[in-house]
A and B are shown apart, each in its own frame.
Chain A
Amino acid sequence: MSHSEPVLAIGAKEIPGDIAIWILIFAELFEFGLFFILYIIAKAHNPELFHSGPLLLSQNAGIANTVILLTSSFFVAKAVRAIKLGQVIQSRRWLWLTFFCGVAYCIVKLWEYHFNELNGIGVETNLYFSVYYYLTFNHLLHVGFGLAGLLWVILRSVFGAYSAEQHQGLEAAACYWHMVDLAWIMIFPLIYVMH
């Protein structure tokens, strides 16, 4: 076995990225899991607030961000596929598209916060909105981390760091980005749909 193979590939199928990124992903999912449990408990104790809260939010912003993140996940999967085929330039193009989707997500989210502010909604409006800001701002921070990771991977790609044989770092950044999307898949129905 060569030294470049991932640790968990021993006697089993490979893991995408490397073990370090999966430890980080599970730590992040654990953190989000605590937020989700907090949401479930808060909603059970305050059904009226959690019934009326989603109706005051911009559904369009929530839908737009869902479409953007799902599309970005598709783009980053295409980037990984392209690098596995040795198509370095195509892979980088898909990574840029993913990055722009992430930026678009941030713009929509900041517009949504501004929209809330115009409607007199803030962190201290009520418990529903405290949970809403807690969850969505935390997620926004993770989108920021994901964007930084993508930018780093794009720069490394420019300097020829990745190839069909060696693309562990690119795949690790892609896995982190998918985690950001998965967290949103859970947040979207909680915040915008289930009223």
Chain B
Amino acid sequence: MIENKVLIGVWLVLLLCTLVSVLMAERADFTVISAVLVCVIVVIKSRLVIDYLIGLKFAHPRLRKVMLGYFYLIPLLIAIGAVRPDWIVAMTSLH
């Protein structure tokens, strides 16, 4: 069972990560690097929820791998879309 202080710590880190994302959104010069950093924050937040709030870190390993895989893959696709939108356009254009 997850310790009480771990749950509180995870919740505080999640709020802190949100604050960092918000501060980045406030910046007028939101760059490609900012977008990649935001994706990294999404991965960190997802992992904290999956591992500690749901408790999959100490549960069925295959289930955890599938969940983590999803929350690595989607932010990766978002980051690719931010860094190389031309690739996405080329792959999804009908010509």
Nearest Cβ on chain B to A178's Cβ, whole angstroms = 5
| Residues of chain A within 8 A of B33, CB atoms compared | none
Nearest Cβ on chain A to B28's Cβ, whole angstroms = 10
Report yes or no: B49 in contact with A15, Cβ–Cβ below 8 A: no
Residues of B within 8 A of A (CB-CB), count: 50
- Secondary structure of the A contact surface, majority rule: helix
- Secondary structure of the B contact surface, majority rule: helix
Check A101 for interface membership: any CB of B closer than 8 A.
no
- A 28-65 binary contact with B (CB < 8 Å = 1; else 0): 01000100110011011101000000100001000100
- Given that A70-B18, A74-B7 are known contacts, is A195 also in contact with B2, CB under 8 Å in the complex? no
| CB-nearest residue of chain A to B81 | A40
| CB-nearest residue of chain B to A17 | B54
Assembly CA distance A16 to B60 (angstroms): 8
Report yes or no: B30 in contact with A194, Cβ–Cβ below 8 A: yes
Q: State which size class the interface on A falls in.
A: 35 or more
Report yes or no: A36 in contact with B58, Cβ–Cβ below 8 A: no
Report yes or no: A40 in contact with B56, Cβ–Cβ below 8 A: no
Task: Give the 8 A-B CB pairs with smallest separation, nearest first.
Answer: A44-B88, A44-B85, A74-B11, A40-B81, A193-B25, A15-B60, A77-B53, A70-B14
Residues on A close to B: CB < 8 A?
Answer: 8, 12-16, 22, 26, 29, 33, 36-37, 40-41, 43-45, 47, 54, 59, 63, 66-67, 70-71, 73-74, 76-78, 80-81, 84-85, 174-175, 178, 181-182, 185-186, 188-190, 192-195
